[in-house]
Amino acid sequence: MFPPREPIGLANGIYSNACCGVLELHDGQMSLGNTRHITYVVEYDKVGRYVLPESYVGVSGHVVFVGSGYPMKLRLDKVPHPQRLDLIDSTSGDMISFNRATSG
């Protein structure tokens, strides 16, 4: 049984972290910097809404990277207008928060 899907545009936005860079999410495509694009879906479980990328996305040494491991849930803080996306630091296991950029 698959988790219920949410509208893909729910997570759209630019999320940044001072030490680790920028993630841009738009209609099922996640951009890491200017070079990497990863497909994702938005789902929910009993904890809340999350972005599920096609590949492992994490932080290591202040750099966002894509790995070959099992994809992890990137938690959104609130719906319908999420302001934060949390990634796991693969070194420490800590959550690293990326905050939504405010528009003009």
> Contact, 14 vs 29, CB < 8 A?
no
Average pLDDT, the chain: 86
Is the pLDDT assigned to residue 104 strictly greater than 50? no
d(C-alpha 40, C-alpha 25), whole Å: 9
> Tens of pLDDT along 3-24?
667 888 999 999 999 988 899 9
d(C-alpha 36, C-alpha 31), whole Å: 6
What's the whole-model pTM score?
0.86
